[in-house]
């Protein structure tokens, strides 16, 4: 197949590596990509937010499938531009992408579909925010309504800090104040063709910047898959996945279909397992980052077939995806100052030694090729790269990942040392 992947992060690199790992070989194009992706795909100079330009390129190259990685092109309507021209695309249109783009929209769809989620109040003034704090109690959960790359959320018992967070976003739109939910979190991905869904294996990510879940929220500092503790609680991963399919994914997909805005792409359910049962904290309209980096290396079913089936409305003809019994973890290497003010432009060294560690793959998030000769790369953003390790158990996977990290040098960089530690 000829496949075009839009995006420039580790998620897109992981998708491309999974496509590359299939028996069938593909011609893979990426826009805009990064220095790591350039080693595995042909980079194309295209504005990923310009639907007409992406469609022209796809037509010119006779692309069989476009995979949209990040939320920004989805919310900008790039999938609509492709679908209007009959180009198979994995990714929802602008309207259905509001499931991620607007937390208020997501809450409305969940209410209409009867999906279990926490209580939430939409507030447009300081007074409404304070009233919601009184109604919903502590800890306070305050969320910006629009896209905020995982950083628009504050969970705190400090009322003044919660209020200050809300006031930071209020000038540009409403905020959501939510009931605090307590429990383990699970990220579960569903491929959807607008009508049928197929679940992938669950993962857990680490959103806080530092060990022990300290520090600010980030885009994600690490992840692991599968989740062995689901077996104790639900009698197995399969039973858990079936429950969430029945109570969350299918009701939401059918609701969106009934509203005339079918969701074709990846439905990311961010779940919290409370004592009262499974609750949705958020939906995303795309693969999660960094969870994708640990889910896809375990996928045995060819990814291209699943994505094309979803894009073409044929998921019903496909069996449930199959996963290996191996485990995978990923540890994110972040630039000094991430998430507040990352230092960029620094050289990254030791990558080939790190990649030589058994079971380890380096998945690039924000790397660039500097002008200086020598083949070194530079860090171009906050989350720089993912060290992914696959092994037969979590102890071995952690050893491999941290051995590889020890070989990488990036001045001032930081990473969490406790990824998947609790499941060893």
Residue 334 binding target from ligand AMP, ligand GLY, none, CB below 5 to 8 Å by type: none
CB 146 to ligand AMP: min, Å: 12
Torsion of CA 285, 319, 301, 92, to 10 degrees: -20
Does the protein bind ligand GLY through residue 289 (CB under 6 A)? yes
| Dist CA 202 CA 238 (whole Å) | 10
Q: Which region holds residue 62: left if phi is over 0, alpha if psi is between -120 and 50, else beta? A: left
Across-strand partners of 332?
386
Round to whole Å and give the CA distance between 140 and 136: 8
Q: Which is nearer to ligand AMP, 206 or 263 (CB)?
A: 206
Binds ligand AMP by CB under 6 A, chosen from 118, 146, 302, 395:
118
Q: What Cα–Cα distance (Å) separates residue 48 from each residue in 31, 43, 54, 369?
A: 6, 12, 7, 20
Site string for ligand AMP, 218-257 (x = CB under 6 A): ----------------------------------------
Contacts for 159 with CB less than 8 Å, ≥ 6 apart: 133, 138, 140
CB of 172 to ligand GLY, least distance (A): 21
Would you count residue 145 as binding ligand AMP (CB under 6 A)?
no
Among 4, 19, 41, 153, binds ligand AMP (CB under 6 A): 153
Stretch of 88-96, 161-169, 230-238, 287-295 contacting ligand GLY, by CB under 6 A: 287-295
Would you count residue 291 as binding ligand AMP (CB under 6 A)?
no
> Which residue among 12, 80, 205, 237 contacts ligand GLY (CB under 6 A)?
205
Min dist. Cβ of residue 205 to ligand GLY (A) = 4
**CA 213 – CA 207 distance, rounded (Å):** 8
Asked if 289 touches ligand AMP (CB under 6 A), the answer is no
Query: Could you tell me which stretch among 74-82, 176-184, 221-229, 320-328 binds ligand AMP (CB under 6 A)?
Result: 176-184
Residue 63 backbone dihedrals phi, psi, to 5 degrees: -65, 135
**Cα separations in angstroms, 111 against 35, 120, 255, 282, 366:** 43, 11, 10, 13, 38
Please identify which residue in 220, 251, 342, 381 interacts with ligand GLY, judged by CB under 6 A: 220
Give me the least distance between CB of 287 and ligand GLY, in Å please. Answer: 7
- Of 36 and 288, nearer to ligand GLY (C-beta) is 288
**CA-based torsion, 222, 228, 231, 233: positive or negative:** negative
Q: 385 forms bridges with which residues in the sheet? A: 333, 364
Choice between 150 and 313, CB closer to ligand GLY: 150
Secondary structure (3-state) at 89: strand
User: SS3 for 286?
Assistant: coil
Stretch that binds ligand AMP, among 1-9, 148-156, 294-302, 304-312 (CB under 6 A): 148-156
Provide the mask over 67-106, with x wherever binding to ligand AMP is found by CB under 6 A and - wherever it is not: ----------------------------------------
Which of 10, 12, 78 is closest to 46 using CA atoms?
Answer: 78
The phi and psi torsions of 347 (rounded to 5 degrees) equal -75, 140
Q: How many other CB atoms are found less than 10 A from the CB of residue 160?
A: 8
Per-residue binder mask for ligand GLY (CB under 6 A), 123-162, x = binder: ---------------------------x------------
284 touching ligand GLY, by CB under 6 A:
yes
Q: Give yes or no for a contact between 313 and 193, defined as CB atoms under 8 angstroms apart.
A: yes
Interface contacts to ligand GLY, rule CB under 6 A: 150, 205, 220, 284, 288-289, 291
Binding footprint of ligand AMP on the chain (CB under 6 A): 118, 141, 143, 150, 153, 155, 178-181, 185, 207, 217, 270, 281-282
């Amino acid at each position: 197949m000829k496949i075009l992947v839009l995006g420039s992060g580790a998620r897109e690199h992981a998708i491309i590596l999974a496509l590359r790992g299939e028996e069938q070989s593909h011609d893979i194009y990426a826009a805009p990509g990064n220095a790591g992706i350039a080693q595995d795909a042909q980079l194309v100079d295209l504005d990923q937010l310009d639907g007409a330009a992406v469609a022209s390129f796809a037509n010119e190259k006779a692309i069989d499938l476009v995979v949209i990685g990040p939320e920004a092109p989805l919310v900008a309507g790039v999938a609509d531009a492709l679908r209007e021209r009959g180009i198979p695309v994995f990714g929802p249109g602008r309207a259905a992408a509001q499931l991620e783009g607007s937390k208020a929209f997501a809450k409305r769809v969940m209410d209409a579909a009867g999906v279990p989620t926490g209580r939430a109040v939409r507030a447009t003034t300081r007074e409404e925010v304070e009233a919601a704090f009184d109604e919903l109690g502590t800890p306070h959960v305050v969320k910006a309504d629009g896209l905020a790359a995982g950083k628009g959320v504050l969970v705190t018992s400090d009322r003044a800090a919660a209020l200050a967070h809300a006031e930071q976003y209020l000038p540009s739109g409403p905020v959501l104040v939510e009931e605090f939910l307590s429990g383990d979190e699970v990220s579960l991905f569903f491929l959807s063709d607008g009508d049928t869904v197929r679940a992938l294996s669950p993962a857990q990510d680490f959103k806080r910047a530092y060990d022990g879940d300290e520090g600010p929220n980030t885009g994600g500092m690490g992840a692991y898959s599968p989740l062995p503790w689901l077996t104790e609680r639900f009698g197995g991963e399969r039973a858990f996945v079936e429950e969430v399919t029945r109570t969350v994914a299918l009701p939401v997909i059918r609701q969106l279909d009934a509203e005339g805005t079918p969701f074709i792409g990846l439905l990311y359910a961010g779940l919290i397992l409370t004592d009262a049962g499974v609750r949705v904290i958020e939906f995303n309209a795309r693969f999660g980052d960094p969870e994708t980096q640990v889910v896809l290396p375990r996928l045995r079913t060819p990814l291209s077939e699943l994505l094309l089936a979803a894009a073409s409305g044929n998921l019903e003809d496909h069996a449930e995806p199959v996963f290996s019994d191996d485990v995978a973890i990923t540890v994110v290497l972040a630039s000094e100052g991430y998430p507040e003010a990352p230092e960029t432009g620094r050289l990254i060294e030791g990558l080939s030694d790190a990649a030589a560690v058994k079971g380890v793959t380096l998945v690039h998030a924000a790397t660039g090729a500097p002008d200086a000769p020598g083949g070194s790369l530079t860090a171009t953003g906050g989350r720089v790269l993912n060290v992914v390790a696959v092994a037969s158990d979590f102890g071995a996977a952690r050893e491999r990942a941290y051995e590889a990290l020890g070989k990488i040098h990036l001045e001032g960089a930081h990473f969490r040392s406790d990824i998947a530690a609790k499941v060893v």
